[in-house]
Amino acid sequence: MLSRLYKWFKPLFFKMDPEAAHHLVVDGMGAASRVPGVPALLSGIWGVGESPELAVDLFGCRFRHPVGLAAGLDKNAKAVRGFGSAGLSFLEVGTVTPKGQPGNDKPRLFRLPPDEALINRMGFNNEGADAMAARLAKLGSHKVPLAVNIGKNKTTPNEQAAADYRACLAKLYKYGDLFVVNISSPNTPDLRALQHGDELRDLLAEVKAEMELQAAAHGDLPKPILVKIAPDNDEEQLSYMAQAIVASGISGVIATNTTIARPGLTHPNQTETGGLSGRPLTQRSTEVIRSLYRMTDGRLPIVGSGGIFTADDAYDKIKAGASLVEVYTALIYKGPGVVKEIAEGLKQRLRRDGYTRITQAVGADHR
């Protein structure tokens, strides 16, 4: 039923400009979720029931199952209640910057249907941290853990980037359950340089200092901070990054963001610049997860993201070392029902392999 429902709407969406369709879905989910009874309806259609074998306790949060929403879909936290009712176990909103910015010139989002992929060069288009804070303040409580993905403004030079990340954290501290430092988008000039060398160590130290400052001011314990990394790092670069992230005391890593590589694409849009997501990223993101888990002896919690379309894709990332996983492009090509499909498939794979909890499968490839 779920797949048939989306198959009916999908041709209509795919006739639209990709960015227009994107806004229609997010704004529609936001508006619909404010109508009494609609969140319960969404949950009835796409919700995933409680399954003790799929539950994950991590980062001080309880996740009903491992499958959440990656950043980039709900950039301005407009549809938190809607997406939180559609089966996802957590949401990552943003990337948000201190000041609102328009992003790069349009067109900047491209579908590659035969490759089950997207290319985007959005450029952190968002309304800014104050607008997101105001929206989340009105929302109040949310059903699932909320991760806020923070970045720097395009006009901010790298040597001043830490101030932008600190500003986002200060404005949004009250509203996120965890925070994600985005230093891996290919669409903001020089941003990826922050993944390496002293810049990485210094940035993480600054963000952690701001987190401790905000926690003290609010009488809380510091909230978890994760770092989102690119898939286009070699093993030497990954090793250094892993060492720096572990040494910093950061809570975890999201692997991975979009790629600038163009592996085996067939659609003419392959020539567009920007970050590639979807099926072509499946294998590479899993390889990065496997490397990070090995390099850190499983001590650094990993959220797997990139090309997850099926339960096997998710399970491969979990066995490689991911404790949680995220979807985005699969929602575009398969619809919201993919979340329940993956969750049900994970339960089947646990039973097949003799596990009683999903946490037992994390890093299984290394044992």
Catalytic residue among 33, 85, 89, 185: 185
d(CA 11, CA 306): 24
**How far apart are alpha carbons 287 and 283 in whole angstroms?**
6
Q: What is the 3-state secondary structure (H, E, C) of 247-266?
A: HHCCCEEEECCCECCCCCCC
79: which DSSP letter?
S
Q: Is residue 33 among the annotated active site residues?
A: no
Helix 197-218 to helix 161-172 angle, to the nearest 10 degrees? Answer: 20
The DSSP code for 221 is: P
At 184, list the tokens: 């891996």
- Positive or negative, the CA dihedral 209, 325, 18, 284 is positive
Q: Are 67 and 343 in contact (CB under 8 A)?
A: yes
6, HSE (Cβ side, Cα atoms, 13 Å): 15
Residues 201, 167: Cα–Cα separation, whole Å: 18
Catalogue the active-site residues: 185
